[in-house]
Amino acid sequence: MTHNPPSQPTTLHRPPSIVALAGGVGGAKLADGLAQILPPERLTIIVNTGDDFVHWGLNISPDLDTVCYTLAGLANPLTGWGRKDETWHVFAQMERLGAETWFRLGDKDLATHLERTRRLSNGESLSSITRDFCARWGIRHTILPMSDAPVRTIVETVEFGELPFQEYFVHQRCEPTVRGFRFEGIERARPASGVMEAIQQADALVICPSNPWVSIDPILRIISPLLAEGRPSVRVAVSPIIGGQAVKGPAAKMFRELGIEPSALAVARHYGRTLLTGFVLDESDSDLAADVQALGIHPAVTQTLMKTSDDRRQLAQDVLHLIEQFV
Ligand code: GDP
């Protein structure tokens, strides 16, 4: 094991090979930063599909689409979901016809779901469809769903009992109190084609700053056999919690409702030393670095809020610097 000082620049001529795990918005931003600095053959992004659902008869993969649209430069920067320069003609007509409108689908976005649904119903796998869509959108890095088999995240709530994820997340606006989660179908779901190979060949695993409970945990469950074998040996996570709060979404609320004080340290504990080699926390949480170290996980402190494209690239660079201390 070579230990380079953290300040040493990344050797860009031979960067490490990375597998990144991502959910939606937070994951997509770091995945985009990594894609800016790593050549296509050195980065595979494995995306959560527990949020997938059927709406208006269409197969929708919200996290997969967010990551793909972001890397293709097609994402709406204001909403964090959906397409930029979107129009809403179909949605307006659906509303007029009395269709359910709690989940907004724009015209351009609809094309993705129409074509995905058609191809799935013809028997093509989600990973094959995703590879083809990526090629057509000009994405050169590999993006894969965690599994080709359906996995459905169910949120156990105090007020409504069990809710399918999008019912909780979009329809109920994350308001119900969370008691726990269940990933329907996860026992039967194998990693999608390409996932195991990417992990076997990777130098390091990067857990993007996504929701640990509902975006990352399902992926970890799917790839757990390889992780148990110790592959890849270097694993680094970036905290999605900054200053005790989520940048966006219900992650901090979930920690609280499950009886855990939300903090970057709570995220490091959630993943634990068996999983993680290193943990990246925000400079505003630098006082927690010693506690992360005490868990047996190597901390790295940097600016982790990604507001601009440069922020994404800089954070990706900092993550690679941390990784290069261990590979
Ligand atoms: P979702 O499916 O769209 O909710 O997306 P994710 O699971 O990928 O992301 C949600 C998490 O990403 C939240 O916990 C946010 O706090 C975190 N997040 C979003 N943007 C950023 C960012 O710029 N920096 C960091 N560190 N975390 C972020």
Tell me which residue of 98, 97, 5, 100 sits closest to 58, measured CA to CA: 100
Which residue has the CA at smallest separation from atom 1 of ligand 1?
Answer: 24
- Distance, in Å, from the CA atom of 249 to the CA atom of 25, rounded to the nearest integer, reads 9
Sign for the pseudo-dihedral over CA of 132, 137, 139, 143: negative
Sort 131 into a burial class: Cβ within 10 Å, 0-12 / 13-18 / 19+.
middle
* Angstrom distance (rounded) from CA 106 to CA 91: 7
Q: Show the tokens assigned to 199.
A: 């992990």
Say how far residue 282 (Cα) sits from the centre of its chain.
18
Distance 23 CA to ligand 1 centre (A): 8
| Cα 13 to middle of ligand 1, angstroms | 30
At 205, phi and psi to the nearest 5? -105, 135
Which residues, at least 6 apart from 211, have a Cβ–Cβ distance to it below 8 Å?
Answer: 23, 26, 240, 246, 249, 250, 251, 254
Residue nearest to atom 21 of ligand 1 (CA): 26
pLDDT of residue 7: 43
SS3 54: strand
pLDDT at residue 13 in the model = 61
User: Is residue 32 in a domain?
Assistant: yes
Instruction: Classify 191 as helix, strand or coil.
Output: strand
Ligand 1: which of 32, 165, 247, 319 to mutate, judged by most atoms within 8 Å of the beta carbon?
A: 247
Residue 3: inside a domain: no
Q: What is the pLDDT of residue 96?
A: 98
In degrees and rounded to multiples of 5, residue 276 shows phi and psi of -100, 140
2 lies in some domain: no
pLDDT at position 53 is 97
Residues having CB closer than 6 A to ligand 1 are 23-27, 29, 63, 209-211, 215, 238-240, 242, 246-249, 251, 304-306
Residue among 51, 210, 318 to mutate when testing ligand 1 (max atoms within 8 A of CB): 210
Distances (CA, A) of 251 to 38, 120, 239, 254: 29, 31, 11, 5
| 125 is a domain residue | yes
Ligand 1 pocket mutation, candidates 25, 34, 67, criterion most atoms within 8 A of CB: 25
Distance (Å) from CA 311 to ligand 1 centroid = 14
Please give the structure tokens belonging to residue 259.
């009886």
* 281 belongs to a structural domain: yes
What is d(CA 4, CA 272) in angstroms, rounded to the nearest whole number?
Answer: 24
Task: Establish if 250 belongs to a structural domain.
Answer: yes
Q: How far is the CA of 119 from the centre of ligand 1 (A)?
A: 30
The answer as to whether 255 is a domain residue is: yes
In total, how many domains does the chain have? 1
CA-211 nearest atom, ligand 1 = 7
Q: Six-digit token pair at 68?
A: 């793909």
Residue 12, domain member (yes or no): no
Query: What does the radius of gyration of the chain's CA atoms come to, in whole angstroms?
Result: 19
Cβ neighbours of residue 19 closer than 8 Å, sequence gap 6 or more: 43, 44, 45, 46, 198, 199, 202, 204, 205, 206, 232
Q: How far is the CA of 11 from the centre of ligand 1 (A)?
A: 28
pTM: 0.95
- By residue range, what is the domain housing residue 301? 18-324
Bridge-based pairing state of the strands 152-157 and 178-184: antiparallel
Per-residue confidence (pLDDT) for residue 79, from 0 to 100: 83
Full pLDDT tens readout for the chain, 327 residues = 333 444 444 444 689 999 999 999 999 999 999 999 999 999 999 999 999 999 999 999 999 999 999 999 999 988 878 999 999 999 999 999 999 999 999 999 999 999 999 999 999 999 999 999 999 999 999 999 999 999 999 999 999 999 999 999 999 999 999 999 999 999 999 999 999 999 999 999 999 999 999 999 999 999 999 999 999 999 999 999 999 999 999 999 999 999 999 999 999 999 999 999 999 999 999 999 999 999 999 999 999 999 999 999 999 999 999 999 999
How far apart (Å, rounded) are the C-alpha atoms in residues 145 and 140?
A: 16
Q: Give the ligand 1 atom nearest the CA of 304.
A: 26
Residue 44 near residue 198 (C-beta atoms within 8 A) = yes
The helix (run of H) or strand (run of E) holding residue 235 is strand 234-238
CA quadruple 214, 219, 220, 223: dihedral, nearest 10:
160
Instruction: Read off the CATH number of the domain in which 159 is found.
Output: 3.40.50.10680
